[in-house]
Each structure stands twice: as structure tokens, then as C-alpha cells.
Amino acid sequence: MSPENIRHNGKAQVTSLRSMPPLERFTPVTPHLAISPRVSVVVPAMNEAENLPHLFATLPQWIDEVVLVDGNSVDETVAVARRLRPNLRIITQTGKGKGNALAAGFAACTGDIIVMIDADGSMDGREIITFVGALVTGADFVKGSRYATGGGSDDLTFGRSVGNKALTALVNLMYGTRYTDLCYGYNAFWAHHLDVLDLDCDGFEVETLMNVRAAKAGLTIHEVPSHERHRIHGQSNLRTFRDGFRVLSTILREWRRPPGLQLPEPTATPAADRGVA
């Protein structure tokens, strides 16, 4: 035991700190909540060798696992990634498109929390703590938002911004959500909700699909502010009208789709209401 200095009648006295109680005295909060959850970060990448140094420099040291999904790059993406982070896990994509890459990356994760982030340097890995903080304090799914207070974008064109706002408003009307940013790829969630999200799309509509299915399943969804920077090198594969139409088709298709897995009704008082810190 370590001594502790206290004062009594103005005089310093030394007392002993109480020893830590045995682990058996601690009560688990829920089967899915850990004091220090393992965090996996999934990075879909294709020909992003020049951008990976910028992204990886922002990733916190406390991340447990980084899974890079390589879309059959023809540049040095894989070699650069291995050099920057030797303990990196690399998955070679067998299909095509961002949705397919994320599904492969999610399936390979071993962490309790999964964070998805783009490889082009537009997203700041230092924001991950905000996403994780929202999850460990009660959220099931956390969305980054460029329109939330404190967020922003250096990259959104007028046309993309108008389209995003219109599609966001449509989803809010149809699904009763209060999203501010539908088409943004910086998200995080508890890994045990993968079955609910059930990714089965290939393209950039994947973010919309995840947002809609999370809402339909009754997940607790929080938005956190995020600032999007310009892509550092190369050209984006996003095509405004083509991918906007795919997003709209996804919204309408999911409306007709029967509800999938949903969260069971709670059988006990939530931990927050029982005074658990």
C-alpha cells in the first residue's frame, strides 16, 4: 500500500491508502460493455500510397487494430501501409466498390468497436476518440457529420451539398430520423451490431444503407461533428449524379424491405440509471 499525506489540526500525518478490492467485487455492466473496449479501424484503399502517410500520422496510438482493405491497387499502397504500420492487417478485396471493401474489412475485425475511415487523407484520425467516447457512453452507432456544430468540409461542392441535404431530408421524413449528414463515410459502431447492418451493397451508397438500417433496427444513434479536408493526392472515384441515384435507389428499396434484425427490448434498468459510471 502507498502512504497518503493528510492534515489534521494543521499538522501533516501519514496514513495508508486502502488496498484495491478483489476483482470479484466488481459487477459487470452488460455482456457487451468493457472498461477498455478494443478498437478496430477499417481503411478501404485503392491506389492511395501517397495519402496513407497523412492518414496514418493522425491515427491514435491506443488503437488496437488497423485493417486495410486493398482494392487490388497498382501502386505501392500495400508496401507503404506495411512500412508505416508493421502490425497492420491487410485484406485483399475480392469484389469491387467501397461497400464490398467495408464488408470484407468488418468481417476481419477482432475489436469490440469498429471505426470506418477513408484512406484519402480527408478524415482526421484524431477525431476517433470522439466516436469511441459516444459509443462507451451509450450509443450503438455513431455518425460523423460535417453539418453539426464544430464540423465542416473543405471539399463539398455546391451540387454535392445540395444533393446530400435533399437526400438527408428524405431519409428523415421516411424513417423518422434527425440526421444532418447522410452521405459521409466516417462512422463507428459496436461490432456486435454487424448482423443488424448486414451490408449487401457494393458502392458509395454503403453509408446510406448503414444509416437507414441502424435506424430501422432501433439502434441508439449519435451524430458527432467532423471536419472533412480536401483529398490530398489523386482523384476521387465518387460520381455525383451516378452515386446520388444509387443512394436514392437504396433509400426507396430499404423502405420496401421488410424489417430485419431488431434490438430486443431491455429486460433490466439501463446501467446509466443504476448509477454505474
Tens digit of each residue's pLDDT (9 = 90 or more) over 217-226: 999 999 999 9
pLDDT of 259? 65
Global pTM reads 0.79
Sequence length of the chain is: 277
pLDDT of 256? 81
Q: What percent of the chain has pLDDT over 90?
A: 61
Amino acid letter, residue 229: R
Interatomic CA distance for residues 8 and 187, integer angstroms: 53
Judged by average pLDDT, the poorest of 81-95, 126-140, 152-166, 214-228 is: 152-166
pLDDT of 6? 43
- Summarize the confidence of residues 128-132 as an average pLDDT: 97
Judged by average pLDDT, the poorest of 62-66, 196-200, 262-266 is: 262-266
pLDDT of 266? 46
Confidence class for position 163, pLDDT limits 50, 70, 90 = confident
Confidence class for position 84, pLDDT limits 50, 70, 90 = very high
Judged by average pLDDT, the poorest of 46-55, 209-218, 239-248 is: 239-248
242 has pLDDT over 80: no
DSSP codes, the chain: --EEEEEETTEEEEEEPPPPPPGGGPPP--TT--SS--EEEEEEESS-TTTHHHHHTTS-TT--EEEEEE---SSSHHHHHHHH-TT-EEEE-SS-SHHHHHHHHHHH--SSEEEE--SSS-S-GGGHHHHHHHHHTT-SEEEEESSSTT-EESS--HHHHHHHHHHHHHHHHHH----S-SS---EEEEGGGHHHH-----STTHHHHHHHHHHHTT--EEEEE-EEPPP-SS-----HHHHHHHHHHHHHHHHHSPP---PPPP-S--GGGGT--
157 has pLDDT over 70: yes
Interatomic CA distance for residues 211 and 80, integer angstroms: 32
Of these ranges, 6-20, 150-164, 197-211, 263-277, the one predicted with the greatest mean pLDDT is 197-211
Cell digits for 102? 467495408
Interatomic CA distance for residues 101 and 117, integer angstroms: 12
- The alpha carbon torsion through 182, 233, 77, 112 (nearest 10 deg) reads -30
- Summarize the confidence of residues 108-121 as an average pLDDT: 96
pLDDT of 231? 76
269 has pLDDT over 50: no
Q: Is 55 left (phi over 0), alpha (psi -120 to 50) or beta?
A: alpha
Average pLDDT, the chain: 83
- The alpha carbon torsion through 22, 4, 35, 136 (nearest 10 deg) reads 150
pLDDT of 222? 97
pLDDT tens, position by position, 176-217: 999 999 989 999 999 999 999 999 988 888 999 999 999 999
